[in-house]
Amino acid sequence: MSTVVKKTYTDEAVQGYNLRTAREEARRCLVCHDAPCSKSCPAGTDPASFIRSVRFNNVKGAAETIRKNNPLGGTCASVCPYDKLCQEACSRCGIDKPIEIGRIQRFIVEQEQAFGMRTIEGPAVKKAGKVACIGAGPASLTVASKLAEAGFNVTVFEAEEKAGGMLSFGIVPARLPQEVVDYDIKLITDLGVKFKFGTKVKSVEDLKAKGFDAVFVGAGLWSSKKIDIPGADLKGVWAATEYLKKARETNGKFDSGKKVVVIGGGDVAMDCAATAKLAGAEKVMIYYRRTIEEAPADIEEIKYVQAMGVTMTTEFAPKEILADGKQAGFVVFEGRDKASEAKVMADTVVFAVGQTPESMAKLGDFNLNGKGCIVVDEKTGETGLAGIFAAGDIVNGGKTVVEAVAQGKAVANAIVNYLEKKEGAK
Amino acid sequence: MAVKKDLSIEFAGVKCLNPFFLSSSPVGNNYDMISKCFEEGWGGVFYKTIDLWPENEISPIFGTPGNAGEPWTAFKNCEHASQNSLEENLEHMVRLKRDYPDHKIFASFMGQTEEDWKLLTSYADQAGVDGVEINLSCPHMGRENMGSDAGTNPNLVAAFTKAAVSGTKLPIIAKMTPNQTTMLPAAIAAMKAGATGLSAINTVKSLIDLDYDLFTSQPAMNGKSAISGLSGSAVKPIAMRFTQEMASCPDLKGAPISSIGGIYTWNDAVDFLLLGARNVQVTTSIMEYGYRIVADMASGMMHFMDEKGFNSLDDFIGLAVKNIVSPSEFDREYLIRPNFDHEKCVGCGRCYVSCYDGGHQAIKWNEENRRPELDTDHCVGCHLCQKVCPVKDCILPGELVWRDGFKPRDIKLRTHFE
């Protein structure tokens, strides 16, 4: 008999380090020259430097390194796909197994909070220049933080009543506890960034008219795709973002379903499956149209949901959802080989097959690609509209938090340049 | 079948089951402790030091430097002599000798005057033990002319040894202090005054990691600490040095040596035997892990003897002594360049960093493939790179180069690493 992972919705998946265990792990670090881990972090968080700080007994210095390089250092510590980035690059892989960089980072940000450190501060004298950020997700938060650190006046406009975007509404708390997100946001708020919640921005032009010198668009992807098959409109059929958001808002106390089929092979699908299981579903089954090797999900996330008793069936795509009254009753699948078939009893079906942007047409006269995402200059995030920048999922079509941070940092630099040029021109 | 070898040895005229003894310390302070250690395989004990004064203990008594929770690199104590009454200690020893006649007990004493020493050692005969160790080396004494004060003064060593000898007919081992530039005058004085053998080292005077609220060291009593004895792994190299100096000293020829200092494993014990010791004493590792560690000391030493073809400890005791020479005698006619195994290399670059910052800038770092390349013009053959490499057998001695004017000839080279 196997021991299955049993936790509640808000229980964390991974045990944290304490000072002793963090140091033990840091001592495994080879302290590389020109460290490959640091070179492979898209956001430039510089793990080699913060691990060395822990090893040489300087946890506070480590916290400063993380926060200076990555305003979402706490969030990234929890959700970053380490095994594909810094940990895959770790030289120690050549000996046995990589340093657990994510867990060390997590420990450091916990210490930062425990010590009440002010790891990031803006200058005493503010600079001229007001910036608006649309959306309070990872990209916007990064831009807001970096600009506030540089001394600019930043206001974030968010349609929801809470900041964080996908971090607060889209990821299962077992992977990313709300307190971690909230603390990242608190440090950004402490920099003087203002948040306007429950506010839908009319247009970027409207913001400029209200006196903002530059506008950053980090609207994210909030329309979940559903596959257009018969029965997709039945009761009990969800889009992933709605399902995850409902779970977050109710702390897992919602009608999550008894027999749940999750369709998809990315981290969002894994989060939906974990959410269903943690919220009390009897049976949770993931169906993915390709193989595990092709699945975009982090292998650790796949292993984790499997350890909870969730099954994952590959190379089956949904063909039809059969009704049981008004509710979903069965899902019919067709094999990739076009010969296999499956009919699975399910009262709940969650489509985790990607998100699309809400329409950007009203917001501004952007250049959009075929998926409805905003086309920008890759390096600067410039949209082509004067003083309007964009980054994050609304540009890249949905990638990781660490990539949103990386882009946010680059765009913040571009906005600083833009504002300084503008100021100089006056 | 498990390898069995004879570990018995004669030390200072006393026949011992094996060379593994407890040193005079908290680990051997009463009947129950010592009977347990004998059951687990220790050959004998140097009983906790007995003096003539009641002991007012401190609390705490110990300190450890470094990172809490990790194996001790060293251990600092401010321990006193036995807290038991003289009568209690003698009674424990009598019972131990009755119940464990084949195991050996050396009573340890410490006096302040010649009269004290004569009186104290006479108790050993009453208790029926096998020998006596005279403690001329405790580094944290509160009284004059005792401990390392006595052990660093050859005149006092001679007088106290002579007095101790006059109180007993048992063999006397004089325990030496490392807290001096040389131990030899004190060791020679002890042997001339009638000691049967020598033991070393007692602990090293020390201070360890300070407390940043109290601004003092450990152990701290009401905000104060003291310079006191350090033991454990950190002191083993110091103990090896003193063992070698005594074993190679012509004036101490034939003096049986019992070595003490940082013994955790059979290798540690073998190191001291190779340097001429006939007995080893252990405390710190027992305080950290318990008496049970003797099982691997004995088994490991037997396997070592089996691999090397030794049948008794006498087959290898002292083999290393002649190979420790003055630096003036070194063969300086060649250098050995390191060889980098690029297959095993994991690309950490530690060799490059250490060679640049702590060596001779003789390693070029290939940023593309993350591999070291040797610059033979700059390499002096120091092998610092090999010492920092985290990968087994990745950096090993490579090409042997004869310096200008010297012809190739056969030399002895190290072949085994790790």
* pLDDT tens, residue by residue, B60-77: 999 999 877 789 999 999
* φ/ψ of residue B150, rounded to 5: -70, -45
ipTM confidence score: 0.88
How confident is the model at residue B54, as a pLDDT?
Answer: 86
Tell me the residue range of the domain where B397 lies. Answer: 331-402
Q: What is the pLDDT of residues A329-347, one digit of tens each?
A: 999 999 999 999 999 999 9
Q: What is the pLDDT of residues A281-328, one digit of tens each?
A: 999 999 999 999 999 998 888 999 999 999 999 999 999 999 999 999
With an 8 Å Cβ cutoff, are B70 and A24 in contact? yes
- For residues A53 and A38, what is the distance between their CA atoms, to the nearest angstrom? 14
CATH number (domain holding residue A191): 3.50.50.60
Residues contacting residue A353 through CB under 8 Å, at least 6 positions apart? A225, A226, A227, A240, A263, A264
Count Cβ atoms below 10 Å from residue A44 Cβ, excluding itself: 14
Lowest mean pLDDT across A350-359, B223-232, B323-332, B365-374: A350-359
Q: Is B210 on the interface with A (CB under 8 A)?
A: no
If asked whether residues A389 and A308 sit together in one domain, one would say: no
How confident is the model at residue B1, as a pLDDT?
Answer: 62
Beta strands in A135-236 (DSSP E): 153-157, 194-196, 214-217, 223-224
Residues of B annotated catalytic, as ranges: 138
Residue A34: closest CA among chain B residues belongs to which residue? B349
Q: What is the pTM of this model?
A: 0.90
SS3 for A96?
A: coil
Q: What is the pLDDT of residues A99-143, one digit of tens each?
A: 999 999 999 999 999 999 999 999 999 999 999 999 999 999 999
- For residues B301 and B297, what is the distance between their CA atoms, to the nearest angstrom? 6
If asked whether residues B106 and B233 sit together in one domain, one would say: yes
CA distances from B103 to B30, B44, B92 (A): 15, 5, 14
Best of A18, A34, A40 to disrupt the B interface (most B CBs within 10 Å) is A34
- For residues B215 and B223, what is the distance between their CA atoms, to the nearest angstrom? 8
- Type of residue found at A355: Q
- For residues A34 and A38, what is the distance between their CA atoms, to the nearest angstrom? 8
For tokens 């006269």, the residue is A365
With an 8 Å Cβ cutoff, are A32 and B350 in contact? yes
With an 8 Å Cβ cutoff, are A33 and B346 in contact? no
If asked whether residues B369 and B241 sit together in one domain, one would say: no
E strand or H helix that includes residue A409 = helix A401-425
Number of H helices, E strands in chain A: 16, 15
How confident is the model at residue A117, as a pLDDT?
Answer: 95
CA distances from A121 to A118, A279, A388, A407 (A): 7, 40, 25, 21
Query: Which of A302, A322, A355 is a domain's end point?
Result: A355
**Of all residues in chain A, what percent are helix, strand and coil, respectively (each to 5)?**
40, 15, 45
If asked whether residues B195 and B315 sit together in one domain, one would say: yes
Q: Is the dihedral angle over the CA atoms B325, B327, B333, B336 positive or is it negative?
A: positive
Of A33, A93, A95, the CB nearest to B349: A33
Band of residue A3 on the pLDDT scale cut at 50, 70, 90: confident
Count Cβ atoms below 10 Å from residue A300 Cβ, excluding itself: 18
Residues of chain B in contact with residue A20, where contact means CB-CB under 8 angstroms, are 67-70
A390, A376 contact by CB (below 8 A): yes
Lowest mean pLDDT across A133-147, B34-48, B65-79, B290-304: B65-79
If asked whether residues B226 and B339 sit together in one domain, one would say: no
Paired with B206 in beta bridges are B228
B140, B228 contact by CB (below 8 A): yes
Give the strands of the sheet with A194-196, arranged side by side.
A194-196, A153-157, A130-134, A214-217, A388-390
If asked whether residues A401 and A347 sit together in one domain, one would say: no
Whether residue B412 is predicted with pLDDT greater than 90 in this model: the reply is: yes
Q: Is residue A120 part of a domain?
A: no
Burial of B327 (0-12, 13-18, 19+ CB in 10 A): exposed
- For residues B171 and B166, what is the distance between their CA atoms, to the nearest angstrom? 11
CA distances from B366 to A316, B111, B341, B356, B392 (A): 47, 66, 14, 14, 21
Q: Is residue B142 part of a domain?
A: yes
If asked whether residues B313 and B362 sit together in one domain, one would say: no
Query: Which of A114, A148, A169 is a domain's end point?
Result: A114
Cα angle B167, B170, B172 (rounded to 5 degrees) comes to: 85
If asked whether residues A196 and A142 sit together in one domain, one would say: yes
Helix axes A101-114, A178-190, angle to 10 degrees: 60
- For residues A128 and A118, what is the distance between their CA atoms, to the nearest angstrom? 24
With an 8 Å Cβ cutoff, are B391 and A95 in contact? yes
Residues of chain B in contact with residue A30, where contact means CB-CB under 8 angstroms, are 346, 348, 350, 390
* φ/ψ of residue A3, rounded to 5: -85, 120
Whether residue B349 is predicted with pLDDT greater than 80 in this model: the reply is: yes
If asked whether residues A321 and A372 sit together in one domain, one would say: no
If asked whether residues B109 and B240 sit together in one domain, one would say: yes
Beta strands in B296-349 (DSSP E): 334-340
Residue B66: closest CA among chain A residues belongs to which residue? A57
* Distance from chain centroid for Cα B226: 23
If asked whether residues B16 and B156 sit together in one domain, one would say: yes
Count Cβ atoms below 10 Å from residue B57 Cβ, excluding itself: 9
Band of residue A1 on the pLDDT scale cut at 50, 70, 90: low
How confident is the model at residue A9, as a pLDDT?
Answer: 78
Cα angle A378, A295, A82 (rounded to 5 degrees) comes to: 65
Cα angle B124, B128, B131 (rounded to 5 degrees) comes to: 55
If asked whether residues A244 and A191 sit together in one domain, one would say: no
If asked whether residues B319 and B385 sit together in one domain, one would say: no
Q: Is B349 on the interface with A (CB under 8 A)?
A: yes
Q: Is residue A125 part of a domain?
A: no
Mean pLDDT of A241-262: 93
If asked whether residues A363 and A341 sit together in one domain, one would say: no
Structure tokens at B113: 């005057």
Helices (H), A298-355: 299-307
Cβ within 8 Å of A, B 47-106: 67-70
* φ/ψ of residue B31, rounded to 5: -60, -50
CATH number (domain holding residue B360): 3.30.70.20
Q: Strands B395-402, B334-340: parallel, antiparallel or unpaired by DSSP?
A: antiparallel
How confident is the model at residue A47, as a pLDDT?
Answer: 98
- For residues A361 and A346, what is the distance between their CA atoms, to the nearest angstrom? 38
A279, A254 contact by CB (below 8 A): yes
CATH number (domain holding residue B177): 3.20.20.70
Helix axes B154-166, B114-127, angle to 10 degrees: 40
Domain count, chain B: 2
A89, A39 contact by CB (below 8 A): yes
Residues of chain A in contact with residue B68, where contact means CB-CB under 8 angstroms, are 20
Q: Is residue B415 part of a domain?
A: no
On average, the pLDDT of chain A sits at 94
Mean pLDDT of A385-411: 96
Cα angle B321, B22, B100 (rounded to 5 degrees) comes to: 120
Structure tokens at B177: 């202090």
If asked whether residues B317 and B341 sit together in one domain, one would say: no
Q: Is residue B94 part of a domain?
A: yes
Mean pLDDT of A35-49: 98
If asked whether residues B40 and B175 sit together in one domain, one would say: yes
On average, the pLDDT of chain B sits at 96
Interface of A with B (CB under 8 A): 20, 23-24, 30-34, 36, 91-95
Q: What is the pLDDT of residues B250-266, one digit of tens each?
A: 999 999 999 999 999 99
Query: Which of A79, A114, A149 is a domain's end point?
Result: A114
Residues contacting residue B407 through CB under 8 Å, at least 6 positions apart? none
Tell me the residue range of the domain where A322 lies. Answer: 224-355
Kindly report the nearest CA distance between residue B12 and chain A, in angstroms. 45
If asked whether residues A236 and A341 sit together in one domain, one would say: yes
Band of residue A426 on the pLDDT scale cut at 50, 70, 90: low
